[in-house]
Amino acid sequence: MSAADVLAIFSNADFWSAVLRIATPLIFGTLGALICERAGVLNLGIEGIMVAGAFAGWLAVYDGANLWIGVAAAALAGAVFGLLHAFLTVSLALSQHVSGLGMTLLATSVSYYAYRVFFPNVSSPPTVKPFAELSAIPIPILASQTPLTWLALAIVPVIAWILYRTPLGLALRMVGENPAAVEGQGIDVVRLRTGAVTAGSALMGVAGAFLTLSAFNAFYFNMVNGRGWICIALVVFAGWRPWKALGGALLFAFFDALQLRLQQQAGGIPYQLYLMAPYVLSIVALVIVARRATYPQALMKPWRKGER
Amino acid sequence: MRLEARAAPSRAAVILAPFVAVLFTLAVAMLLVAWAGAPIGETYALLFDGAFGSRFAWSETLTRGTPLILTGLSAAIAFRARLWNIGAEGQLYAGALAAVAVGGLHGGTGFDLPASVLFPLMLAAAALVGALLLLVPTFLRTRFGVDEVVTTLLLNFIVLLFVSMMLDGPMKDPTALGWPQSVSLRDDLQLDKLVPRTRVHTGLVYAVVLAAVLAFVVRATTLGFETRAVGANARAAAFLGVPVTRTMAIVAVISGGLAGLAGAIEVAGRTGYVTLDMSPGYGYTGIVIAMLAGLHPLGVVAAGIFVAGVLVGADSMSRGVAVPTYIADVIVAVSLISMLVAMLFARYRLRAT
């Protein structure tokens, strides 16, 4: 393994295509988690919501629906679990940690249960025809991506614009910093937070749909494999900012794609060490940014009307 | 409608909460059973029979309950101090690996030490690596403010890959063809059977004794008081002179150590070696058990056996009727959420406005 080998990897367009592909579910998931957290609600349901999205999207398409209807089904599945999480943590002001973990357990187990109800005896899941590459577009690297990757890149400026340039975004950021002040403005804290968690969870559902409708073509157990937790780490790394979330997802995907290539080329080193790298990297990144991380002030603080 | 705080938590509600939560959960599960097209009555009868209906069913439930009680205790003590240890799964695997590292038949014989020396060393090693695995995230939180939820979760993946690497490498059982499996534990280090001709082993006794010790610690010692104080309000506790960082570290050692022990006891009592599927999420299920028990150590024993019964019962039920065994995981998840809501009504009442 020499410097020339590494350079050869970087000069290969396939490598950069892989970076974008790996980044796509992370972009959706990180933005979804970011919206929830900006409104003051930690959503540890993300891991399970991605499973539910992956399953719902795939099932809809298998059932004959259009691929975009599949994506909508995934978003809907995410939104349903988001609504439940919001009811528990916002309306009832229960522990965001425990409720989020509960959502992950529930969304995962319900998806697996439903999979087995629909397909009791199959050893491998039936496949669907996934999104095709948008090869008509004459831009290298982007031409080898599917529409969902384009969508992921497109929603970054949209979410940044909503958060920083609209009254809704201002209210949303404010409710994560100081819900009492939002209440003072005559805005309903519970409705605002519920809306944010539901919308953010819908994005998490789409992140899952990318796995079954774009990256792969079927629903497998354990296919989310910790991506949701990585997104939770990426939100902190990004300092709760959409553009930095995109940067973080791309940086993470860069290292993930790199370890995959190195794994194929360099012999002698156990492959598990390469697979560990993304998780180790996430922890290191968290430690680096922790000191200057400015958490939304009201994150994880339950808010009850009339209570201080 | 709004929630209004009760002046004091309702005692009746606190005691009733787990039962209401479980009943609600069974009602939800009923809908899922009906959806799968299976007869509800027969399904529940099979589930109950498979869990508690015979001597064999009880023995299987108690065998499954042993690691669950230990991971439940691990979560209960940590959550009392609001140390969110979601890493019990990794700590369990690390403990299992450490147990085999100390007591395994490396090179066909293992270490040349008597069992009376090696057995305590084996348990200590397992508890130690579990404790270290939680001490690092705890240190990162107290020193740098890194959220331990994410770090402990990510560590689970790292540990599992490390175990996989060891099972391919230095700890590999050369006689197991193809399957990633560690060398076996020495015969004289394996736990005795508690009941002849069943799989129940003396690990259950360890788990129950540890629960009793922990119940005493949280109720009647300074550490128990300090844990509660740190959990209720760490800043206020610091002002009152509670050593917050030290308390967190001790809680981390106990919590991680218990999860590590769960791994060692599972190896010594049931499997005899480490595989990558030896725990079907015992670490995560432990969190649910701790919550069902209201974080009370003795409650963990009851909740652990209940959850083990659901898991074992669902396995045996799904062989009889067409209900996927994943119903057990749904029941565990729904019972966590409904317990959370039920406990809320112990502290609050609903008022129409």
Encode pLDDT of B69-95 as tens digits: 999 999 999 999 999 999 999 999 999
Domain limits for position B182: 68-294
Nearest chain B Cα distance for residue A126, angstroms: 18
Stronger pLDDT, B157 or A290, i.e. the higher one: B157
- Would you state the structure tokens that stand for residue B341, as one six-digit string? 């809501």
- Would you state the structure tokens that stand for residue A179, as one six-digit string? 């819900």
Residue B311 forms part of a structural domain: no
For residue B336, which of B87, B17, B11, B12 has the smallest C-alpha distance? B17
User: What per-residue confidence (pLDDT) applies to A135?
Assistant: 76
Local confidence pLDDT in tens for the 353 residues of chain B: 677 777 777 788 888 888 888 899 999 999 999 999 999 999 999 999 999 999 999 999 999 999 999 999 999 999 999 999 999 999 999 999 999 999 999 887 888 889 999 999 999 999 999 999 999 999 999 999 898 999 999 999 999 999 999 998 888 888 877 778 899 999 999 999 998 889 999 999 999 999 999 999 999 999 999 999 998 888 899 998 899 999 999 999 999 999 999 999 999 999 999 999 999 999 999 999 999 898 999 999 999 999 999 999 999 999 889 899 999 999 999 999 999 998 888 878 777 76
Alpha-carbon distance of A209 to A20, in angstroms, equals: 16
- Average pLDDT on A224-241 reads 94
Alpha-carbon distance of A82 to A49, in angstroms, equals: 8
Nearest chain B Cα distance for residue A292, angstroms: 10
Mean predicted lDDT score pLDDT of chain A: 92
pLDDT tens string A210-227: 999 999 999 999 999 999
Alpha-carbon distance of A214 to A134, in angstroms, equals: 12
| Highest mean pLDDT of the ranges A233-237, A258-262, B261-265, B331-335 | B261-265
A221 and chain B: CB distance < 8 Å anywhere?
A: no
pLDDT tens string A170-208: 999 999 999 999 999 999 999 999 999 999 999 999 999
- Average pLDDT on A226-252 reads 95
Report the 3 state secondary structure along chain B.
Answer: CEEEECCCCCHHHHHHHHHHHHHHHHHHHHHHHHHCCCCHHHHHHHHHHHHHCCHHHHHHHHHHHHHHHHHHHHHHHHHHCCCCCCCHHHHHHHHHHHHHHHHECHHHCCCCCCHHHHHHHHHHHHHHHHHHHHHHHHHHHHHHCCCHHHHHHHHHHHHHHHHHHHHHCCCECCCCCCCCEECCECHHHCCCECCCCCCCECHHHHHHHHHHHHHHHHHHCHHHHHHHHHHHCHHHHHHCCCCHHHHHHHHHHHHHHHHHHHHHHHHHHHHCCCECCCCCCHHHHHHHHHHHCCCCHHHHHHHHHHHHHHHHHHHHHHHHCCCCCCHHHHHHHHHHHHHHHHHHHHHEEEECC
| Phi/psi at B351 (5° precision) | -120, 135
Could you say which of A97, A102, A305 has the minimum Cβ distance to residue B84? A97
Mutation target among B3, B25, B150 for the A interface, most CBs of A within 10 A: B150
Mutation target among A229, A231, A269 for the B interface, most CBs of B within 10 A: A229
Cβ–Cβ under 8 Å, residues B87 and B137: yes
Cβ–Cβ under 8 Å, residues B133 and B90: yes
User: What per-residue confidence (pLDDT) applies to A206?
Assistant: 98
Residue B323 forms part of a structural domain: no
Mutation target among B326, B329, B336 for the A interface, most CBs of A within 10 A: B326
For residue A29, which of A9, A14, A43 has the smallest C-alpha distance? A43
Contacts of B162 in chain A (CB under 8 A): 272, 276
Domains of chain A (ranges; CATH) run 3-290 (1.10.3470)
Cβ–Cβ under 8 Å, residues B337 and A98: no
- Report in angstroms the alpha-carbon separations of B140 from A286, B80, B151: 10, 19, 9
| Phi/psi at B348 (5° precision) | -130, 155
B291 and chain A: CB distance < 8 Å anywhere?
A: yes
Buried b (16+ CB within 10 A) or exposed e, A150-175: ebbbebbeebbebbeeeeebebbbbb
- Would you state the structure tokens that stand for residue B320, as one six-digit string? 């009889």
- Would you state the structure tokens that stand for residue B197, as one six-digit string? 């001709």
Residue B39 forms part of a structural domain: no
Buried b (16+ CB within 10 A) or exposed e, B28-51: bbeebbeebebeeeebbebbeebb
Nearest chain B Cα distance for residue A247, angstroms: 20
Check B154 against A230: CB less than 8 A apart: yes
Cβ–Cβ under 8 Å, residues B167 and B136: no
**CB < 8 Å & 24+ apart, contacts of B33-42:** B33/B323, B33/B327, B35/A117, B36/A117, B36/B322, B36/B323, B36/B324, B37/B322, B38/B321, B38/B322, B38/B323, B39/B321, B42/B320, B42/B321
Check B155 against A283: CB less than 8 A apart: yes
Residue B219 forms part of a structural domain: yes
Contacts of B334 in chain A (CB under 8 A): 106
Residue B91 forms part of a structural domain: yes
User: What per-residue confidence (pLDDT) applies to B133?
Assistant: 97
Nearest chain A Cα distance for residue B267, angstroms: 23
Check A109 against B330: CB less than 8 A apart: yes
Exposure of B352 in the CB half-sphere (CA atoms within 13 A): 0
- Band the pLDDT of A307: cuts 50, 70, 90: low
Could you say which of A113, A290, A307 has the minimum Cβ distance to residue B146? A290
Contacts of B165 in chain A (CB under 8 A): 270, 272-273
- Average pLDDT on A100-127 reads 94
Residues sharing a CB contact under 8 Å with residue B241, sequence separation 6 or more, in sequence order: none
Residues 145-164 of B with CB under 8 A from A: 145-147, 149-151, 153-155, 157-158, 161-162, 164
Alpha-carbon distance of A305 to B3, in angstroms, equals: 9
Could you say which of A101, A117, A286 has the minimum Cβ distance to residue B36? A117
Q: Which residues pair with B201 in a beta bridge?
A: B193
Cβ-in-10-Å burial (0-12, 13-18, 19+) of B324 comes to buried
Give ipTM to 2 decimals.
0.93
B287 and chain A: CB distance < 8 Å anywhere?
A: yes
Cβ neighbours around A272 below 10 Å, total: 20
Domain count, chain B: 1
A236 and chain B: CB distance < 8 Å anywhere?
A: yes
B167 and chain A: CB distance < 8 Å anywhere?
A: no
**DSSP code, position A271:** H
Residue B304 forms part of a structural domain: no
Nearest chain B Cα distance for residue A133, angstroms: 32
Cβ–Cβ under 8 Å, residues A234 and A30: yes
Share of chain A above pLDDT 70, in %: 98
Cβ-in-10-Å burial (0-12, 13-18, 19+) of B152 comes to buried
Residue B307 forms part of a structural domain: no
Nearest chain B Cα distance for residue A259, angstroms: 15
Residue B300 forms part of a structural domain: no
Mutation target among B30, B140, B315, B337 for the A interface, most CBs of A within 10 A: B337
**CB < 8 Å & 24+ apart, contacts of A167-176:** A172/A35, A172/A38, A172/A39, A172/A196, A173/A38, A173/A296, A175/A39, A175/A40, A175/A298, A176/A37, A176/A38, A176/A39, A176/A40, A176/A296, A176/A297, A176/A298, A176/A299
| Whole-structure pTM value | 0.94
